[in-house]
Amino acid sequence: MAAYKGHRTNPDKFERGQIKIYLLILPMVLLTGLPIIFIIFHAFKPMEELFAFPPKFITLHPTFDNLLKLMKASISAGIPLSKYFFNSLFVTAAVVGGSLLFSTMAAYALSKLRFRGRNLMMQINQVALMFVSVAVMIPRYLVVNRLGMIDTYLAEILPLIALPVGLFLIKQFVDQVPDSLIDAAYMDGAVEWQIYLKIVIPMIRPAIATAAILVFQQVWTNLETSNYYVNDDSLKTLAFYMNTLTSTTTTNTVAGQGVAAAASLIMFLPNLILFCILQKNVMNTMAHSGIK
């Protein structure tokens, strides 16, 4: 038993045999972690450090001037930064919630319900995975315009709700839910919505968390909807404003580099925070995605 405990895959305490694992993983951790650290430090660099040569990785004299310049720039434009931030939060929350709702419902139907055309619908979703947003930009605009959604929040929300990769990922997890468990629920008198809410959803939470991150990343940095479907600046998102601001300031003034650094940090932090909150579920998704 002692020999067995000495060779456990996941020991409770540090063991000498783990040193080789740390030596293998540490370079990869540094390779992926250093850019994150650089983005955070870069946003608080004063002007002389932003253009220092050779470039400095660590900020020696941190300052909030870049963030203050970013806020002043938005105020001078007539719309406060908080308005763009609210638009992004509202649109992102609506898209993430709607996308997860429809993806989980569709995944349950395509996986566990028997109806004509089920396989064809799943094949269409798989084909949709190959299309980039540019390929459907014109048809999508025609639909939005025909429905009268130009210059509304719906134009920011509806085009992004359908996420083929989210449906594909969630369906793989729903496929792993035992049919015998669902049959037993039917025998106990459960209806479809009860099976969906009380059996399927709790068993696929890791996949839902991973899909939430994918949807969030797509929506939070999206420029297409604000660029093509919205003319009213008060309805545009933070990503569009940041992209417009940094592209104009960095090309016209040297001082714009500090604004661009602050904008990059603001756009990056929500992704990092969300991943840190849901990372356990994401790891479970990666661990179980190939299990049938």
171-200 pLDDT tens trace: 988 988 888 888 898 888 888 888 998 889
Which CATH number does the domain housing residue 246 bear?
1.10.3720.10
CA neighbours closer than 13 Å in the CB half-sphere of residue 137: 11
Same domain, 164 and 259: yes
Check if the beta carbon of residue 156 is closer than 8 Å to that of residue 273: no
Residue partners of 259: CB distance under 8 A and separation at least 6 = 66, 69, 70, 73, 245, 246, 249, 250
* 230 backbone φψ class: left, alpha, beta (φ>0; ψ -120 to 50): beta
Same domain, 180 and 237: yes
12-56 pLDDT tens trace: 676 777 778 888 888 888 888 888 888 888 888 887 777 777 777
Residue 165 pLDDT > 70: yes
| pLDDT for the residue numbered 106 | 92
Sorting pLDDT into bands at 50, 70 and 90, what band is 97? very high
Sorting pLDDT into bands at 50, 70 and 90, what band is 240? confident
| Cα–Cα distance for residue pair 221/266, rounded to 1 Å | 11
Token readout for 143 is 């639909």
Tokens 């109806």 — which residue? 115
What three-state secondary structure class fits 56?
coil
In a domain? residue 12? no
Residue 33 DSSP class: H
Sorting pLDDT into bands at 50, 70 and 90, what band is 11? low
CA neighbours closer than 13 Å in the CB half-sphere of residue 274: 18
In a domain? residue 252? yes
Lowest mean pLDDT, pick from 2-6, 85-89, 162-166, 230-234: 2-6
Which range marks the domain in which residue 58 is found? 18-63
Percent of the chain's residues with pLDDT above 70 = 87
Tally of domains in the chain: 2
